[in-house]
């Protein structure tokens, strides 16, 4: 259980930002990690009153506020139609409905957690994050950035002709995944994302053009085989590096086959 002296519900982004520059202050999102560990903070900064709880959609993009819950994403029809339900598939096994009503996309993306289903699926889309000071950067870039004291405001998903699929392996259905894999074709460009390796999700493309000309049973297998050799995997208590590398192969091949309408 965390302990802290002071709680401030920020009224402006600037107020939240300024408070967040102070050592030992902390922005909270969905607060699902509230009871993990026993850290002590001076001030906890609540950004739930800053209008960051909307999913805005226009012809160009979805603009998702950092405080939008995972459950709202999971049940958003437009977003799921656009992603062939990949978002729903990625989120539906995260603990439970009550958990997903609290967990925010901002918290998930900001955390850049190694086990994240959320990061995996959004990396497979044409996704950007909007930071209060840092402006708009691609999610792929953001995922590699160091933790700083900026504030994540929005997740932006560009609307482009898109097909997307998602799969994961879990030892138990609502557990952290042993491996996650999302794959998409956006503007004829392939994105393959592997997460829970056990490090954070990594985005791969079809640099060698192995899949150009369309997915076939053969090139899907070949691509997956190659990818499983280059995705770095490691061992933790949910799986060994060897098993994870095997899953990279299996899930990538299956996802490509699904993308190609072959499975």
Partner 1 sequence: MDITLTLNGKKISDQIDPDLTLFDFLRNHNCYSVKCGCETSNCGLCTVFFDDTPVLSCSVLAIRANGHSITTLEGLQDEAGEFVGFIADQGADQCGFCNPGFVMNTIALLRENPDPTDDEIRQFLSGNLCRCSGYEGQLRGIRAFLNSRKNK
Partner 2 sequence: MEHKDYKAINKSVRKKDAMQLLLGKPVYTKDVVPDNALVVKLLRSPHANAIVNTIDTKVAKLVPGVVDIFTWEDVPNNRFTNAGQTYPEASPYDRLIIDRHVHCVGDVVAIVAAENEKAANKALKLIKVTYDVLEAVLDFRTAKDNEILVHPEDNWVAPCEVGGTNKRNLVASEQSEYGDVDGVLADCDIVIDRTYHTKAFNQAMMETFRTYTSYDRYGRLHVISSTQIVFHVRRILSHALGIPKNMIRVEKPRIGGGFGAKQTAVSEVYPAFVTMKTGRPAMIVFTREESQIAGSPRHEMEVRVKLGANKDGKIRVLDLYTLSNSGAYGEHGPTTVGLSGHKSIPMYTGSLEAHRFNYDVVYTNTMAAGAYRGYGATQGIFALETTVNELAETLGMDPTVIREKNMLKEGMLMPAYYNEIASACALDKCLAHCKEMFDWDSKYPVRDMGNGKVRCAGIGMAMQGSCISNLDVGSATVKLNDDGTYTLMIGAADMGTGCDTILAQMVAECMDCSVDDVTVFGADTDASPYDSGSYASSTTYITGKAVEKACIDLKKRMCSIAAGLMECNEDEVIFEDGILRRINTDQSVTISEVGVKSQLNNDIVPQASASHCSPVSPPPYMVGMVEIELDKLTGEVTILDFMSVVDCGIPINPALARIQAEGGIVQGIGHTLFENITYDSKGRPIESSLMQYRLPTRLDMGNLKVEFEHSFEPTGPFGAKSIGEIVINTPAPALAHAIYRATGVWHRELPITPEKIALGK
Burial of 173 (0-12, 13-18, 19+ CB in 10 A): exposed
Count other Cβ atoms within 10 Å, centred on residue 17.
18
Phi–psi pair at 116, nearest 5 degrees: -75, 120
Strand partners, 44: 7, 26
Which residue's CB is nearer to partner 1, number 37 or number 261? 37
Phi–psi pair at 248, nearest 5 degrees: -55, -45
Which residue's CB is nearer to partner 1, number 4 or number 243? 4
**Out of partner 1, partner 2, none, which partner does residue 217 contact, by CB within 5 to 8 A per kind?**
none
* Token couple for 96: 């439970």
Residue with tokens 């958003």: 76
Burial of 119 (0-12, 13-18, 19+ CB in 10 A): buried
**Out of partner 2, partner 1, none, which partner does residue 246 contact, by CB within 5 to 8 A per kind?**
partner 2
Q: Which residues bind partner 1 (CB under 8 A)?
A: 1-7, 9, 28, 30-32, 34-36, 44, 46, 48, 92-93, 95-99, 101-102, 173-174
Which residue's CB is nearer to partner 1, number 67 or number 169? 67
Closest separation in Å from C-beta 225 to partner 1: 34
**Out of partner 2, partner 1, none, which partner does residue 28 contact, by CB within 5 to 8 A per kind?**
partner 1
**Out of partner 1, partner 2, none, which partner does residue 31 contact, by CB within 5 to 8 A per kind?**
partner 1
Closest separation in Å from C-beta 247 to partner 1: 22
Q: Are 91 and 187 in contact (CB under 8 A)?
A: no
Phi–psi pair at 18, nearest 5 degrees: -60, -45
**Out of partner 1, partner 2, none, which partner does residue 172 contact, by CB within 5 to 8 A per kind?**
partner 2
Q: Which residues bind partner 2 (CB under 8 A)?
A: 1, 3, 38, 93, 169, 171-175, 178, 237, 239-240, 242-243, 246-247, 250-251, 254, 263
């Amino acid at each position: 259980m965390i302990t802290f002296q002071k709680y401030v519900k920020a009224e402006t982004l600037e107020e939240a930002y300024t408070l967040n520059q102070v050592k030992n202050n902390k922005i909270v999102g969905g607060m699902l990690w509230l009871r993990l560990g026993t850290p002590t903070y001076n001030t906890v900064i609540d950004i739930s009153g800053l209008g960051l709880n909307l999913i805005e959609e226009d012809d160009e993009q979805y603009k998702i506020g950092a405080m939008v819950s995972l459950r709202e994403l999971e049940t958003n029809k437009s977003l799921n139609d656009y992603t062939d339900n990949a978002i729903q598939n990625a989120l539906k096994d995260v603990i439970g409905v009550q958990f997903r009503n609290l967990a925010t996309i901002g918290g998930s993306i900001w955390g850049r957690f190694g086990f994240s289903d959320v990061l995996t699926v959004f990396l497979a889309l044409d996704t950007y994050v909007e930071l209060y000071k840092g402006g708009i950067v691609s999610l792929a870039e953001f995922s590699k950035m160091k933790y700083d004291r900026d504030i994540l405001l929005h997740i932006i998903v560009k609307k482009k002709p898109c097909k997307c699929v998602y799969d994961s392996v879990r030892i138990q259905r609502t557990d952290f995944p042993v491996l996650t894999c999302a794959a998409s074709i956006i503007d004829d460009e392939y994105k393959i994302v592997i997460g829970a390796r056990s490090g954070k999700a990594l985005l791969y493309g079809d640099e060698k053009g192995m899949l150009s000309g369309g997915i076939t049973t053969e090139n899907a297998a070949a691509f997956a085989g190659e990818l499983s050799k280059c995705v770095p995997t490691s061992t933790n208590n949910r799986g060994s590096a060897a098993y994870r590398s095997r899953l990279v192969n299996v899930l990538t091949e299956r996802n490509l086959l699904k993308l190609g309408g072959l499975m």
